[in-house]
Structure 1
Amino acid sequence: MNCQWCESDTARETSDTVYWELPDGTKAIEIQETPSIHCLDCGMTYQSDETVKEIEDQLFLIDTSKLEKSMTYAELMAAPRLLKRNYFDFSQ
């Protein structure tokens, strides 16, 4: 796997804690055990575009007022949705 930042081939899949601002901008939450990529050469840890989209879509589709300040990625993704999909995402 190549690093998106330094293009080294030492990037590896891992999980990490990330902090995400809610779509309405009211607060940020901690998301533990988030699928991530870590580069052994440059030290950068980041999330794939697919993971970022999954998180952002889920936060848009659930009742964020019921979220705890901290949760795991699996807990976030298992939260019940108010809508079936993000009808405002025109990239599909």
Structure 2
Amino acid sequence: MKTVCEWCSSENVEHISGSVYWELPDGTRAIEISETPTFSCPDCSMIYQSEAIVKEIEDQLFLIDCKKIDKVITFENLMEIPRLLKRNYFDFS
């Protein structure tokens, strides 16, 4: 299945990796998550993460001890941090 841009519906979307900046669930600080799977659309100049990646990051940050995260972490390293709970029991979607 071909990926289309979520903003302009172009089929010219490229899969890249990039940095995103995320506020921790407790609101104490923000971190940089490098090498995050990202889409780039040259037609409308949008650079964005899929809803699935956003949910994966939010769930992981909600389920780990965020005090152990430095200011910068790679996406892969973030996802490897052991969770305190098996899943997000507050996600009713």
Shift in Å at residue 6 of structure 1?
1.3
1:30-41 matches, within 5 Å, as: 30-41=32-43
**How many residues are paired up?**
91
TM-score by length of 1: 0.96
Please identify runs of 4+ aligned residues in structure 1 that moved more than 3 A.
none
| Partner residue of 2:75 out of 73, 83, 88 | 73
* Aligned counterparts of 2:13 and 2:27: Cα–Cα separation in 1: 32
TM-score by length of 2: 0.95
1:1-92 matches, within 5 Å, as: 1-91=3-93
CA RMSD of aligned residues (A): 0.7
* Aligned counterparts of 2:23 and 2:47: Cα–Cα separation in 1: 18
70-79 vs 5-14, greater mean Cα deviation: 5-14
Shift in Å at residue 63 of structure 1?
0.2
* Aligned counterparts of 1:57 and 1:65: Cα–Cα separation in 2: 16
* Aligned counterparts of 1:55 and 1:5: Cα–Cα separation in 2: 21
24-33 vs 6-15, greater mean Cα deviation: 6-15
In structure 1, runs of 5+ residues without a counterpart are: none
* Aligned counterparts of 1:2 and 1:82: Cα–Cα separation in 2: 36
**CA deviation string 1:9-52 (max 9, x = no partner):** 11111111100011111110000000010001111110000000
